[in-house]
Structure 1
């Protein structure tokens, strides 16, 4: 029963399933074929060697995140030759003999055989190698077809959000005519960027496609993605206006997936564009998403996710090119305060005072200080900056300067 259920439910295809089953019967061991993101494609029946990870994977259709991270941390997704994957008792994972499925530079998948004793015979490894070659030939043909579809989709999406209005119109007509996306009424573009990964070429693109795949079709939206090496664009058309919290959860889901599929050295940033009324305006949302991505890079407090609708005045400041966003933009009066050693408390006081429209009672309440202490700090700020906090123009200089200061302190090694 389990074997028939697997053949019917998993996406590996009859030919691949037959190869996996044949190898398992020959070895008398459990065999599984995963895709390059360690997601289940085909699985044989059990041979009494199953472990909790295998059982959960068959029931859920995908391995637990922690199990996938363990495989990735062992470097298996970058192997070029067979080897043993270490077991993990705390995960309920027995050792496995893993063979990377490679064909003409493509990493197509991973063939895994449960090897609890860690000692396969030469005859067994030979049988596994023969099956791996047959699996590679079968998967390569499928990969070529998938690459053609992905390239066409990538081209359409990139033209839809590009700078050329004629190409945008042509791409929109093609997407609508082919039924790939509806015209509206709520369009949102998200941009995802990954940096800091060391490993095989194409691995980030594969991970991006896997992370965005769940959002191509949801209960409330239709989407298409374009993946380009270390970044991707996701265009979605929602049936109803998506809430900010919904889009934030979606962005966090993308970050979490990429954190599972890639090693811990990778940094993921997400920019969510503004909400537009029709597909013809997807390019506007895309431009806004790029600004939001810059905000995610330059403002650590955003946790790697920027949303245009939440940027406020930062959306205007981030229109400045990267080369212009340096500390020379910070007004000199404010620099005297920020550069003075040990003035973190005064900076916090100034921020709170300005954020609360110069209200002394509200500022004192939030900072939990007596008003006398607050007045003393404000006098110190005025003395150091030479500006009058009762003057609206002076307050604007300080407030704008603090916003610029937030942006120019961006980490230098994150994607832009």
Structure 2
């Protein structure tokens, strides 16, 4: 398919006597013609960035769209704007199919410019490009639908049927080596094009529950809701799709509430009253070797960038950023590589668990691989339980934020007082005083290994 686009771009370049560049409607680079000019202005900053990074900045996009290219049905001439890095004027050929703009062909403008006849011929080539883009969008939509069906199906015959449909849609890709990613939160229900990231075989969005402020994790930090971000059954429980794990089923469960909804009690919409429905993005990425996850990591970075700003009202995301996370707030969980798609349910559980971990522990994000999240592999798979263990319920109250933070730091540092005091920036005597208060509040003995284990698990689980 890429060769087809390149051939058509080269055909336009030959018709108009100037190197052409093809971008999709989101200004993502698809193909470009060779530049053999000695003129430095032939590669102004905007054109250079587009080719090197395969995208344009929002400011450049706004500048060009201000000339009506999204509505135009014929060539549009756009003047230079040196302040914006556009050193040369442009000719834009809108790429449309059945009246819908799907992309743009760009050429550097020059006087007197191409003749009307040549521009008309170039627009005919642009229409052929539009047909290819439309076919590709339909294929992407089919794959998105089939992947979403697999990730949201109950285990059993529904899952098996959805998996068979996905195998058919993927064709030969279905038996290849893949890694499944979860990007959360994703700003909206719309699924991007697979061109957003290299090596992506299929993309889809799924519901991702996220707690509002007031659902406190350890230290008073809002806890991220959702147990995998797929649906109301993502915390496991009756009707859970991945049986015996307590994690999300094949991508989560029904968003209809009732039995099988989140452990803290569903609503008519399948989400607890203190959660806001946002979205996560699932991405199936092709790999060449299980020992070389680079394509998955590259795709993860591209998709996280594409997530942009956090959704409005996503308080936990803003809090996560304030605690040292990404300014955009999005994180990516990466499942272990697998050959074929038979184990997508388990891969999705891993990816969503890794994403939950990255949201709960900024030091493990913004890109968390399932293989690298340590104890959270077990914590995210625990079955539903009361919000807090009775022994630590008082410690997790907002009034004891500092004590909870101190206890977690002490346990994270293997009970070494010197390292803990240094990490918290306090005197050892202050540390000992706080730990004694923790023991009084919880009734636990921090000299006992099992009491330490219980407290550590409870603090980490509360983050999730």
TM-score, L = length of structure 2: 0.59
Per the alignment, residue 376 of structure 2 pairs with 314
2:128 aligned with 1:143: no
- Displacement of 1:378 in angstroms is 2.0
Per the alignment, residue 300 of structure 2 pairs with 251
Q: How many Å separate the matches in 2 of 1:79 and 1:354?
A: 57
Select which of 346, 350, 358 maps to 1:284: 346
Q: How many Å separate the matches in 2 of 1:131 and 1:194?
A: 44
C-alpha distance 358-275 of structure 1, shift in aligned 2 (>3 A):
same
Q: Which has the higher contact order (CA 8 A, sep 6+)?
A: 2
CA deviation vs aligned residue, 1:107-163 (integer Å, no higher than 9, x gap): 3211334358xxx99x98977984675345312321343245435544665566654
| 1:285 counterpart SS class | helix
- Displacement of 1:205 in angstroms is 1.5
2:267 aligned with 1:210: no
Unaligned runs of at least 5 residues, structure 1: 1-8, 217-223, 408-416
Per the alignment, residue 76 of structure 1 pairs with 65
Q: How many Å separate the matches in 1 of 2:137 and 2:81?
A: 34
- Displacement of 1:183 in angstroms is 5.9
Per the alignment, residue 363 of structure 1 pairs with 420
- Displacement of 1:397 in angstroms is 4.5
Aligned length in residues: 364
Matches within 5 A, 1:13-412: 13-22=6-15, 24-25=16-17, 32-36=21-25, 37-39=27-29, 41-43=31-33, 51=41, 53=43, 62-64=51-53, 67-74=56-63, 76=65, 79-81=70-72, 82=76, 84=78, 87-88=81-82, 91=85, 93-104=87-98, 106-115=100-109, 130=120, 133-151=123-141, 153-154=143-144, 157=147, 163=155, 164-167=158-161, 170=164, 174=168, 178-182=171-175, 187-192=178-183, 195-196=186-187, 205-206=192-193, 209-212=194-197, 214-216=198-200, 224-227=201-204, 231-236=281-286, 238-242=288-292, 247-248=296-297, 250-256=299-305, 268-276=330-338, 279-318=341-380, 331-336=392-397, 338-340=398-400, 344=402, 346-364=403-421, 366-367=423-424, 371-383=428-440, 387-392=444-449, 394-407=451-464
- Displacement of 1:175 in angstroms is 8.1
Q: Is the contact between residue 273 and residue 285 of structure 1 (CA under 8 Å) also seen in structure 2?
A: yes
Greater mean deviation of Cα atoms: 285-294 or 389-398 = 389-398
CA deviation vs aligned residue, 1:386-406 (integer Å, no higher than 9, x gap): 544334454344323322442
- Displacement of 1:76 in angstroms is 3.3
CA deviation vs aligned residue, 1:210-248 (integer Å, no higher than 9, x gap): 233x225xxxxxxx32445973421445534346x8854
Q: How many Å separate the matches in 1 of 2:329 and 2:124?
A: 36
CA deviation vs aligned residue, 1:140-194 (integer Å, no higher than 9, x gap): 3213432454355446655666544533664587589x5334466xx53223456
Unaligned runs of at least 5 residues, structure 2: 207-278, 310-325
Q: Is the contact between residue 20 and residue 33 of structure 1 (CA under 8 Å) also seen in structure 2?
A: no
- Displacement of 1:90 in angstroms is 7.5
- Displacement of 1:285 in angstroms is 0.8
C-alpha distance 350-254 of structure 1, shift in aligned 2 (>3 A):
same
C-alpha distance 330-138 of structure 1, shift in aligned 2 (>3 A):
farther
C-alpha distance 196-375 of structure 1, shift in aligned 2 (>3 A):
same
TM-score, L = length of structure 1: 0.64
